[in-house]
Structure 1
Amino acid sequence: MTTIKIRTAHPAEVPDLLTFWSKAAEGTSITDDEAGVSRLIERDPEALIVAELDGLLVGTVIAGWDGWRASLYRLAVLPSHRRQGISKALLAAAEQRFVAVGGRRGDAMVLEDNERAHHAWSTAGYEREDRWRRWTKPLTS
């Protein structure tokens, strides 16, 4: 049995991460480009956690910590590798990171129509909070 390696992403992997998300993640974000992902890794080198299996990138999660909020984004696993405990291992690493820095609650951004993700987050112990809505405003064109 091969062991999943959980580690942080390296700056040189940014193009591979973007390609991975195009295959494994639902939706895109305004920051889904080389500059945005590079900035994340530069600002917080421990935020972007990846799962690797025999040298193949099979999963990711962004565990962003701003000193107040523990925010989770981009939990994604290659379709061919789902249901093998990879997202569970990624979330465990993210939650360990948050506890180590004083985080009190993990807060996940999940697309409203991504039912598969709703199930995954629920199974991991996360609960939907319907009393909140996200309000956004692009700061660049």
Structure 2
Amino acid sequence: MSTPDDLRIRHAEPADVAPVLAFWREAAEGTSISDDTAGVGRLLDRDPEALLLAERDGTLVGTVIAGFDGWRCSAYRLAVHPAYRRQGIATALLTAMEHRFAALGGRRVDAMVLEENTRAHGAWGAAGYVREERWRRWVKPV
């Protein structure tokens, strides 16, 4: 999928694992226990279309994990490289993610966002997600 501003959204492949991990170390806020080669490899083995990558001129500029277990849509690792922020990349990734979920029959997205990442809170809110204090998550119907 491409957008008019030459941004390309594609599914990650096994060869992308190391570059994605390096990207997350630089662009993502915080790390996860599954942020390793084995963890991302398992994700791609289980659902090869879950990890969406945004590229501009062949450079990785953004990611989102769009996981679906047949019941719930889950969003993880929305990250945009600091040099490329505020250019619509997160919006393009979220749109691609939501199209994926709709095609799979998903009806609601739960987004995991670090409590202290207030910049991300603003991005999710601007994209139409509503924070559910009771569950401490951001949700949106698909």
Question: Which TM-score applies when normalising by structure 2?
Answer: 0.92
Aligned partner of residue 89 in structure 1, secondary structure: helix
The corresponding residue for 2:121 is: 118
- The separation in 1 between residues aligned to 2:58 and 2:136, in whole angstroms, is 39
Q: Measure how far apart 1:100 and its partner are.
A: 0.4
Please, which runs of 5 or more residues in structure 2 have no aligned partner? Answer: 138-142
Q: Which amino acid aligns with 1:25?
A: A
The corresponding residue for 1:73 is: 76
* 2:106 aligned residue (97, 103, 106): 103
* Identical-pair percentage: 67
Q: Kindly report the root-mean-square deviation, in angstroms, between the aligned alpha carbons of the 2 structures.
A: 1.2
Give the count of matched residue pairs: 134
Residues 1:53 and 2:49 are matched in the alignment: no
Q: Measure how far apart 1:42 and its partner are.
A: 1.0
Alignment of 1:22-41 (within 5 A): 22-41=25-44
Runs (4+) off by over 4 Å: none
- The separation in 2 between residues aligned to 1:109 and 1:2, in whole angstroms, is 28
Which one has the bigger strand percentage? 2
Question: Which TM-score applies when normalising by structure 1?
Answer: 0.92
Please, which runs of 5 or more residues in structure 1 have no aligned partner? Answer: 135-141
Alignment of 1:81-96 (within 5 A): 81-96=84-99
